[in-house]
Amino acid sequence: MTEEEARPKLDELRTQIDELDRDIVKLLNDRMRVVEDIGRIKRLAGLPIYEPKRESEVFANVIASNGGPLPPDGLRRVFERIIDEARTVQRMRMQSDGGKP
Please tell me the predicted confidence (pLDDT) of residue 20: 98
Share of the chain above pLDDT 90, in %: 77
As a whole number, mean pLDDT of residues 65-72 equals: 96
SS3 101: coil
Q: Give residue 94's region: left, alpha or beta (phi > 0; psi -120 to 50).
A: alpha
3-state secondary structure 25-83: HHHHHHHHHHHHHHHHHHHHHCCCCCCHHHHHHHHHHHHHCCCCCCCHHHHHHHHHHHH
The tens digit of pLDDT for each residue in 10-57 reads 999 999 999 999 999 999 999 999 999 998 898 899 999 899 999 999
CATH of residue 35's domain is 1.20.59.10
Q: Write out the residue range of the structural domain in which residue 60 sits.
A: 3-97
Please count the structural domains in the chain. 1
Please tell me the predicted confidence (pLDDT) of residue 100: 55
Among the listed residues 71, 41, 76, the one whose alpha carbon sits nearest the alpha carbon of residue 57: 76
As a whole number, mean pLDDT of residues 46-74 equals: 95
